[in-house]
Structure formats: structure tokens, C-alpha cells
Structure 1
Amino acid sequence: MPVTGAVMSQLLPAALVLFSGGQDSTTCLAWALSRYERVETVGFDYGQRHRIELECRETVRSGLAALNTDWGARLGADHMLDATVLKSLGETAMTHEVSIEMTEAGLPSTFVPGRNLLFLTLAGALASRRGIAVLVGGMCETDYSGYPDCRADTMAAQAETLRLGLDVPMQIETPLMYIDKAETWALADTLGGQGLVDLIAEDTHTCYLGERGARHEWGYGCGTCPACELRAKGWESWKNAS
């Protein structure tokens, strides 16, 4: 289970955060900056429809560094990797103009088969070259769409695969795995206060359709896609409980 709240008394050496520019990965980045001496980030261009999230990444990184001088000192290099092979494997609502709906396989059309597996493989290879033994990702099986590559069992298996295949120690941390979206907002507030909450609302991107025209209390988005609905519901539940 993730440890939420106060900074660890002794910082751990280093971590590589899978950082998309969205709410979850930004919260995970703040979590890592509170725990590790050196934190690097990696993003993936996989031909996503909402690729505007990639344009948000540097703004968010800079914002996090400005929020906390210690975080700024610990924030290391950013890496961007080409994962567009995923788009070439077949259509999904995340990579093509396809309706967001449940498929015959019982999974939403937003599921990109192999996405997290590929991301973690690439991140693991990068981490091994950077002398980093910890990957941090925003995978969650509490508030999610049933994606099999977001489950804790998948993360445990992937970590073991990386350890065996790379012949180096490799750990995958998932701070959000067992909390819902309201608790994710609460975690951001615990980690960075109102400044971090405001940064997430204003500068991160979650909307599957890449919409940034309408500004809601919880941030920008179409307001109707599953990602927007989940983010909005979590915001409302968190604010009502505050």
C-alpha cells in the first residue's frame, strides 16, 4: 500500500516516473519527489488522440519545481520515447476516430492492448541505463475501466519480468493502485497543498478527446468522456468530504 502524507525521513536513491501530463501521473510525480533523491520522468508518444497531454508535460514539470525548492532540486531529466507502433497494431478510441463504447471483448474501446506492458518495458530499459531501480506509475484498479494492464497482479508480474530480463533489480511503485479518484485529489492536497491542487486542475490534461476549451472546477475537458466524468466525480466527492 502507498504511504501517503509526510515525506519519508530518509530519501531513497532514484526513481523514473511514467509521466503523461495527466492528473494521475502528476500526483505520482509529486509523490516520488517527496521520497526520492533524484527523480526522472519519461513520456510516450503512441499516436494518442489526446496528444495535447504531451504539450502539458513541461508546464507541469516546471510548475512542480516552482512549488517546492526541494522538489525542484530533485527533479532530473525528462525523456520522450516513440511508442507509435501501438497505433499501427489496430484501432482503439485512444488512437483513432473510434466511438468510446464497450466492445464485444467486454473491454472499453479506449483500451490499448499492450500499452502499459510496452511502456513499462521501455521505461525499465531506460531506467537500467540511467542507474535507476524504481519505476513509478499511475496505474489503479480502484477507479478504472477494467484495463487488465492496470491491475496489481500485472504490475507484480511485469516487475519480475523486468528483473529477470534485464538482470538488474527493478521495482514498480503504484501509489494510486488502491485509492479512488477522490482520494487521489486528497493525496495531491496532502503532498503539495492548494498549490499542487491548482496546478493539477489548471495545467494537467485527462480528457480522452483532447478538449481544452471548457474550464471546469476540476480542469479542462469535454466533461462527458469517461476520463472527464471520473475526474469530475472524484473532485466533487473530495470537495464534499473536505
Structure 2
Amino acid sequence: MTLQTSPSVTRALVLFSGGQDSATCLAWALDRFDAVETIGFDYGQRHAVELSCREKVRIGMASLKESWASRLGDDHMIDATVLKSLGETAMTHDVAIETTDAGLPSTFVPGRNLLFLTLAGALGVRRGVGVLVGGMCETDYSGYPDCRNDTIQAQAETLRLGLGKPMTIETPLMYIDKAGTWAMALELGGQGLIDLIVEDTHTCYLGDRTHRHDWGYGCGTCPACELRAAGWDRWQVSR
């Protein structure tokens, strides 16, 4: 369904997984755009618990600022399980998290971000949105080639050409580390946003919601937990 909107209204569509990075990006977008919608993807991920966190985070985000509540619009959930059918990865199947013979982490899902951005762009055109917002980062990341700025900007150009509409991809976390992500969240939403991220977002690749740490829930040993925990510790020292 195409959404009719005034050209004077700035609109953004946030790729929102339910994790720390996308929650911070959602807050960033709510601070900058008149209307913000979210899009999530079920790709058969082992940590599907992140999808169940999404609405609680959205509700919590809207409660932090009146302006955020008025700007936060519809959420869209997309079936992207075709990614799981293409082959095994540690993100979609019960296989070890390790470095593969290709030199990439086994958690790398080939084409994931490219597909997500393509689907988000297609929805964005129908919703009158010309800005996509994603939490891709090449500072603190797991070596995924589709998180690099070159990849993202090439994809933005592909979307502009292929959709025949202006399309920008904003990546506010691209050049900051996880400590910087925590600091950005505090600046955007104060301690309330920090508490929301700690309690209600999910990052752990193994889907662990039983172990509570200072930085949130997770197994504490997978690459996602290690990055989040290390960033928290660096941020605490720098405060």
C-alpha cells in the first residue's frame, strides 16, 4: 500500500532487529525525522528471540519522549527465511561459531544486508520514504563485508537506479565502536534509553535471555555478547 504524504514531511524507515544497534539507530532517527517507521526480518535466525523484543522496545522508545511517540509510525515484519534455505551458517543453523576457510566468521549470512536493504527500499517506495536507516558498522564488527560503508553506498546507488526514486541509506554507527554506541544512546535518550537497551533489546547470537549482565542479557561468550560487553566496559571507564 502506498502512503500519501506531504513532501515537506521528512520520513525514514529503520531496519530494526530488536538489538542494541538498531534500537540506537531508531532513537537517532526519531530525533531527526518527522515520521519514522520500522522494518524487521525473520530470516530463520537462531536468536529469533530478538524479534519478540521489537514491540516492547518500540513501546518503550515512545514512552521516553513525547516527540518520539508522535513520530513513531507503523512496524513491518518481512519473511526473509529464503536466506536460511540457501545454506548453513551459525546464525541460522546449529553449527559452531568459528572462522571459516574463507576467512569469514561462520555467523556471516551471505547477502543478508543486501537483501534487507532491497526489501526495505521496495517498501520505502510504497510508503513514501526516501531514507533507510541501518546499524551497519565497520569499526566494531565481525568482519562482514556487507557491513562496510563501500557496500552500503553501492547498494544505495543500486536502489536509486533500480527503483527510479531518490533513496539514501544512513548508517549513524558506521565509524564508532560499541563504547561510542552506548554513549550515543545516552546522549539521545538519557538513562531511560540506556535502561531500555539493557533490559529489553537482544544481541546474543545464541538467543540466551536467562543470563543477566550489567550490559543486558546473553550467553556472554558469543562474538555479539563479547562486543557488547567490551563496549560497555570501555564506556563505563570513559564516563
TM-score bracket for the superposition, by shorter chain length: over 0.9
Equivalent pair of 1:12/1:35 in contact (CA under 8 Å): no
1:211 corresponding residue in structure 2: 208
How far has the Cα of 1:196 moved from its partner? Answer: 0.2
How far has the Cα of 1:231 moved from its partner? Answer: 0.2
Task: Find the aligned partners of 2:97 and 2:17 in 1 and give their Cα distance.
Answer: 20
TM score, norm. by length of structure 1: 0.95
How far has the Cα of 1:12 moved from its partner? Answer: 6.5
Q: 1:28 aligns with which of 25, 41, 56?
A: 25
Residues 1:132 and 2:136 aligned together: no
Task: Find the aligned partners of 1:155 and 1:46 in 2 and give their Cα distance.
Answer: 20
2:233 corresponding residue in structure 1: 236
CA RMSD of aligned residues (A): 0.8
TM score, norm. by length of structure 2: 0.96
SS at match of 1:36: coil
Task: Find the aligned partners of 2:19 and 2:143 in 1 and give their Cα distance.
Answer: 19
Residues 178 and 12 (structure 1), Cα distance of their counterparts in 2 relative to 1, 3 Å cut: farther
Q: 2:183 aligns with which of 166, 180, 186?
A: 186
Equivalent pair of 1:50/1:209 in contact (CA under 8 Å): yes
1:221 corresponding residue in structure 2: 218
SS at match of 1:39: strand
Runs (5+) with no aligned partner, structure 1: 1-10
Task: Find the aligned partners of 1:123 and 1:237 in 2 and give their Cα distance.
Answer: 33
Equivalent pair of 1:111/1:147 in contact (CA under 8 Å): yes
How far has the Cα of 1:235 moved from its partner? Answer: 0.3
Residues 1:142 and 2:139 aligned together: yes
Tell me which stretches of 4 or more aligned residues in structure 1 moved more than 6 Å.
Answer: none
Between the two proteins, what is the percent identity of the paired residues?
76
Runs (5+) with no aligned partner, structure 2: 1-7
Residues 1:71 and 2:63 aligned together: no
Residues 1:52 and 2:49 aligned together: yes
Aligned residues: 232
Residues 1:97 and 2:108 aligned together: no
How far has the Cα of 1:238 moved from its partner? Answer: 0.2
Residue identity in the other structure for 2:75: D
SS at match of 2:41: strand
Equivalent positions of 1:167-186 (< 5 A) are 167-186=164-183
